[in-house]
A and B are shown apart, each in its own frame.
Chain A
Amino acid sequence: TQLLEQSPQFLSIQEGENLTVYCNSSSVFSSLQWYRQEPGEGPVLLVTVVTGGEVKKLKRLTFQFGDARKDSSLHITAAQTGDTGLYLCAGITGANNLFFGTGTRLTVIP
Chain B
Amino acid sequence: DAGITQSPRHKVTETGTPVTLRCHQTENHRYMYWYRQDPGHGLRLIHYSYGVKDTDKGEVSDGYSVSRSKTEDFLLTLESATSSQTSVYFCAISPRGLAGGLTDTQYFGPGTRLTVL
Binding site for B on A (CB under 8 A): 2, 4, 6, 29-33, 40-45, 48, 50, 88, 90-92, 96-103
* A12 smallest CB distance to B (angstroms): 17
**Number of CB contacts from chain A to chain B under 8 A:** 65
Q: Is B117 an interface residue (CB 8 A)?
A: no
Q: In the bound complex, what is the Cα–Cα distance between A40 and B9 (angstroms)?
A: 10
Binding site for A on B (CB under 8 A): 4, 35, 40-45, 58-59, 90, 92, 98-99, 101-103, 105-111
Q: In the bound complex, what is the Cα–Cα distance between A88 and B102 (angstroms)?
A: 14
- The answer to whether A43 and B43 touch across the interface, beta carbons within 8 angstroms, is yes
Known contacts A4-B42, A42-B92; A98 and B105 CB within 8 A of each other: no
- The answer to whether A98 and B98 touch across the interface, beta carbons within 8 angstroms, is yes
20 more CB-based (< 8 A) A-B contacts, given A6-B42, A100-B42, A102-B40:
A30-B102, A31-B102, A32-B102, A33-B102, A40-B111, A42-B90, A42-B92, A42-B109, A42-B111, A43-B90, A45-B106, A45-B107, A50-B102, A91-B102, A92-B98, A97-B59, A98-B45, A99-B59, A100-B35, A100-B43
- With a cutoff of 8 Å between Cβ atoms, the chain A residues found around residue B44 in the complex are 100
Q: In the bound complex, what is the Cα–Cα distance between A41 and B99 (angstroms)?
A: 26
- With a cutoff of 8 Å between Cβ atoms, the chain A residues found around residue B105 in the complex are 45, 48
